[in-house]
Amino acid sequence: MISPEAIVDPDAHISDSATVGAFSIIGADVEIGGGSVIGSHTVIKGPTKIGKNNKVFQFCSIGDDPQDKKYDGESQSILEIGDNNVIREYCSINRGTAQGGGVTRLGDNNWIMAYVHIAHDCLIGNHCTFANNTTLAGHVLVEDYVILGGFTGVHQFCRLGKHSFSAISSVIVKDVPPYIMMSGNTAKPTGLNREGLKRHGFPTDSIDILRKAYKLIYRDGMLLKDALEEVRTLEQHCPQLIDFIKFIEASDRGIAR
């Protein structure tokens, strides 16, 4: 399953059911799980662990050194990729740095379109979609089911809550709470991601309460601490609201507002 034109380091560990295309280079301390397909002309450096049933298209750079001036070749620098991810052409995903915890991580069932860059120490959840040319700076946290439109740029250390959504060419410099849609440079909230929530089975009653919470935070002109107090009165009627509140309370950068 390994092309004779590929170059594979003897210290790499590749499953017998994995495929490596022609002219790809697989370095030492790289692990590729069963059923994964690595396209041609792709470079994977270690330490990198790639799980099962991933598909990496041609001309990707996976697990190369962090683009961080503080990085000095320390061993605490790894990349972990889960299962069932699709990574399209010309994507680059860098390993972590010691200052950021040492790990860049991509979860399961993500769809990473062409020319996406995921920088050092980013932690990506599951079922996310990053459209073409999305760029994540270092230390970005992305929760589950996040959709980023093409050419979205995310500032370092930002957090993106679950089921959030960005329009094309958004520039995100603050934390984005769960369930929120963003647009613009710099990105501002444009509403609740109602369509996305419907598609993922959120009850209508819960969506209505989340919409009320959105209006309290973003549309009623209240101070954030006062708006959160009002939002907490809705919490007992909507379990999903707990994640929304906790995310805002934990924000160090402040939320986009």
The per-residue pLDDT for range 69-109, each reduced to its tens digit, is: 999 998 889 999 999 999 999 999 999 999 999 999 999 99
Which of the following is catalytic: 138, 149, 150, 153? 138
| pLDDT per position as a tens digit, 164-214 | 999 999 999 999 999 999 999 999 999 999 999 999 999 999 999 999 999
Q: Which two tokens stand for residue 242?
A: 């707990």
- Do 122 and 212 have their domain in common? no
Are the C-beta atoms of residues 214 and 228 closer than 8 Å to each other? no
Report yes or no on 171 lying in a domain: no
Q: Extract the tokens encoding 146.
A: 């996040």
Residue 2 half-sphere exposure toward CB, CA atoms < 13 A: 16
Domain match, 112 and 208 both: no
Catalytic residue among 33, 102, 120, 149: 120
Reported confidence tier of residue 7, pLDDT bands at 50, 70, 90: very high
d(CA 173, CA 247) in angstroms, rounded, equals: 16
Give the percent of the chain with pLDDT over 90: 94
CATH of the domain at 11: 2.160.10.10
Residue 137 pLDDT greater than 90, yes or no:
yes
**Model confidence at 219, in pLDDT bands (50, 70, 90)?**
confident
173 is a domain residue: no
Active site residue 120: yes
pLDDT at 237 (0 to 100)? 85
From the candidates 68, 83, 108, 121, which is the catalytic residue? 121
Q: Is 72 a catalytic residue?
A: no
Task: Give the count of domains, the chain.
Answer: 2
Enclosing domain of residue 221:
197-249
208 phi and psi, to 5 degrees? -60, -40
At 112 the pLDDT is: 98
pLDDT at 235 over 90: no
Q: Cα(46)–Cα(134) distance, rounded to whole angstroms?
A: 24
Q: Higher confidence at residue 60 or residue 222? A: 60
Q: How confident is the model at residue 220 (pLDDT cuts 50, 70, 90)?
A: confident
Domain boundary at 139, 161, 180, which?
A: 139
Residue 15 shares a structural domain with residue 116? yes
Are residues 97 and 204 both part of a single domain? no
65 catalytic? Reply is no
